[in-house]
Each structure stands twice: as C-alpha cells, then as structure tokens.
Chains A and B, each alone.
Chain A
Amino acid sequence: MKKFKWLAIVMAFGLLASACGDSGSSNDNAADTSTTAAATTAAPVDQTQGGDLTFYMITHSDDGPFWSVVKRGAEAAASNLGVKLVWQGSNNDPEKQVQDIEAAVSAGASGIAASLPSPDALVPPLQAAVAAGIPVITLNSGVNDYETIGALTHVGQTEIIAGEGAGKRFNDAGAKVLLCGTQEQSNVGLEERCKGAENTFNGKVITQFMGGDADQASQQATINATLAADPSIDAFLGTGPVIAMSGLRAAQDLGRTLAIGGFDITPEIIDAIEAGDVSFTVDQQQYLQGYMPVLLLYLNVTNQNTLGGGLPILTGPGFVTPDNAAAVKALVAAGTR
C-alpha cells in the first residue's frame, strides 16, 4: 500500500500524466454507481424483506468528504433495511440531475430522495415523480421548495437555525461582541449562518468577509487587523472550519483569548477543540441526511408512515465540543461523521 501511494505522488506531481483525476473521475464514478446500483454497498444486501424496493438518491454530490459521509449513511440504511439503493451524484450539474430524476421515474423507482441546489430546474421533474405516485423526500438543500413539490418532508439543516445554535453557545460563554467571519462573499448560506447568530446572540455581532480559504495567510492577517481595530471583540465565529482556524491563529498572535466557534468538521478543527483552543464547531450530521430519507421512504412505502408533520426534519445543528471531540474524531476516521 505504501509503495502504491508513494508511486502515485511521484506520478501525479512529477510526470503530470495521471493528474487530471479531479473532475474527470467523478463523472466516471457517478456512471459506475448508477449501473452497478446497490452493488456498491459493502455489506451483502439482505433480500428477505423489501428486496423488491429500489430507492434512488439523486444529489449534486461531488464525492467530496461531505457527500461521501451522506453516501455512507444512505448505504447503511439500505443495507439495514434490505432495500436496493441507487446513488447518483451530479457533481453540481443540474442538467444531469434532471436527467437522472426522469430516468428514475421511468425505471419505476419505489421512492426518490433528491437534493435541490437549483430549484428552478429540479422542481418540475420531481413534481412529475410525485404525480406518478412516487414518494419524494428532499435532502440537504430544498427546505423552501419541498412543499411545492409535494414531498413527504425535507431532511437537512437550515443555515439560520445552525447560526442561532451557535449564537446561543456564545451567550453561554459570556461573550459580549461577536465577530462573524465569512470566507466567501455573496454566498447566501454563509450569510445566513451569521444572521442566525445575530438572532440569538445577546451582544453585538459584526459580520465581515475575511478573504478566501485559498489564501489562509491573508485570511489570518485580515482577522488579525479586524481584531486589532476593535479591542472589544471577545468571540469569533468562522462560517467554515478553515476560517475558524485562521481566527484562532490571529487571536493567538495578538495574545487575545477569544471564544471561537466554527462550522463543519475537519481533522484540524477537531484537534483544536480537543486541545480546548476552539469551543465548538457546528456539525450538520450529514450522515443522517443519507440515512433518514431512505428510512422514511421505506416506512412510507411499506407502512404509509410520514414523519415531521409537514415540517422539515433538521439534522443539525449538532455540536462538536471538547466533551465529545475524542469520540467524534474516531467516528470521523470511520467515515460516519
């Protein structure tokens, strides 16, 4: 194994021949899984109960670390329930997602779970699926449109509520002035995280763009400057894991002790939480976003159950804090957090 990896490093960095592995390969993967269907599930599928059910999970997955956890959740649910799962990731291509949904309908899917990154394109085909009598659940994104579609429910996290959870945490820490730093400008999700914090936080919230993750040195220096300009800031919320770490470094450079929170999980931020330098990070618990839709579709098809009473089912905010960091770290390594 070691030899193989070593060879790969040399090949891609050195010979540059094998290097186009990024966008090219993910499409291949998607095509792969769509044909081999549930065969990708690691555990053998128990065909004794519900074996004739085939659920389609059609998302804008890029097979990155986030979506691979969703996929594991969905596969685990299918394996536990003994149903077939067809996983299709479009790598942020709405066109392909529409085609996949239409194909699933004509293939006679027992149920469809879909993410809605671009509602305008995806609502009509999903409405057609509902009209054809196929139960639909939206996941991850689509909280504003699942009712229009006539979906059973939505499984995901709303950014506002996640931000509100973070704001409460800072209240508990006794902070007065919170700096909410974003790593992208005009990204609605990130702005909503800060807005949510503003809704629940008792003190003043300053929202600022700090520069992108591609240039962490600059991000850190910008946070450093903002903190230096306003000595009253005593808490920092980064709307991503990388910017949260930049905030930590900036505060350490200035010799200031801030309450620091972040969003999403990386090994780096979990280490910092374990060490007590970062108070928490907000976790979407995306494993649930894969697991729950499959379970709910199964219960709906086999038992006509619905869950949530028409309201969305929130998978977050879960929090990683010094108390559970060690446990979460192990789960991250196992690929379920």
Chain B
Amino acid sequence: MTAPTLEIENISKFYGNINALQDITTSVDAGKVTCVLGDNGAGKSTFIKILAGAHKQSEGTIRMDGEEVNFNSPRDALAKGIATVYQDLAMVPLMSVWRNFFLGAEPTKSFGPFKWIDVDTAKRVAKEEMAKMGIDIRDTEQPVGTLSGGERQSVAIARAAYFGAKVLILDEPTSALGVKQSGVVLKYIVAARQRGLAVIFITHNPHHAWPVGDRFMILNRGRSLGNFAKDEITRDELVTMMAGGAELEELTHELESA
C-alpha cells in the first residue's frame, strides 16, 4: 500500500498556554474524502490554518506522499498542491466567471513587450472545467455575484482542481446554504473526488458529511474524539458524537428531571 496523499500525525498547536489543538492524527488518500467534524470552537479553523500554511504547528508532522513537508506561507502550501477554499473569500462577486477562474494566474499572449490576457482561451477553459464539474456555464462573462452560493463554491473547486491541486480543503462550504444548494455542493465534492483529488471537507453537519465521506475525524475542544474509516462507524454513531454524545445525554436527563 502506498502512502496517503496527505498524512497528519500528532499535530498540536499551542497559543501561549492555551491548547488549541492536541494530538490530531488523520490522513486522506487521492480520490477520497476525509471529513473533519466539529462544533464551533472545536479547533477546526486552527486545523485549516495549519494545513493552508497560515500557521505553523507547534508539534507533530505533516507528510505529503510519504515525505515530510513544512509550509512557510499560504503561497508555499498552494505551490505544494494544497488548495484551500474559504467560504467567504472564494470569489470577487462583481467579476465575471472566467476572470475569477483565472484570477492571479491569467493565461497571456504577448507581442514584443506587450502582454495581454488570452481571453478566448480563458473563457474556453473556464467553460470546459466547469462542465467537468457538471455545470454548463453558457456565458462565462456572467458576474460571479449572480451565481448561487453553491455554484460559487463550485467555481472555486474547479479552479483549484485545474491549477493542479492534489489536496483540496473546503472550509464549511455548506454552512450558509439552503438544503437544495447544499446538495449541489455535495455533488461537486463527489465530482472533485472522482477527478482524483484528496478532499478534506470541514463541516459541523454530520448529515452532509456522511454521504460523501470516506473517513471521519471528530474534533471537540481541540482534541480528536476519533478517526474512523467509513466502515468503522455508523451514521447514528456519528450524529450522536457530533451532537455532544454523553454530554447531551446528561443534559437531557437534567432537563427532564427539572
């Protein structure tokens, strides 16, 4: 068996005397989805920032394809193949789909000292790549702001895939969306998985995680409550763990007796 695309071993992060994360271990393979579940304050955002290169872990190692890596900056992480899609920061709403798709990495043509964007190529590629995600964008001139929330996420996912990301980190892509739109995004996650990306899907919703995930890691107060493959856990167990498990039972008991 080959090494997983991304392997996280005993990662901890301390801010002064606060343990934001402690001894987190999980992994994700190419063409698989690892879901990281956790409530607010569970340490999800610290976890993302370490993987995206914005922060450095205090302890532990990260390996990509079996080799240890260190990220110095978000750009560094991006260059090594880790693309992060943040929920709010994904797009420039007033710009067209194709400009957003290629923003920061526009294809150019040149003549002498003059360089300009190869608009036809950019439009064609954006359309093709979106089609691979299952979206038919007829007019790539359309501003991203007029797309639905789910479609916006999909543009970001398609962009990450096109620019050679091996690992795709999705930060709460469904949390601000309605039921139907969330379903659309889950479809895109599956599409990304089928294209061979290793996906880390961060969410607080076990119902969104269960249908797409191959591996589940539950965070609570900076600690891992477990790191399960899909056949090691049932949907109900996952829901119960996320809902607070023993704590919730205690609370129910307390409320009933009152």
Tell me if chains A and B make direct contact, with any CB pair below 8 A.
no
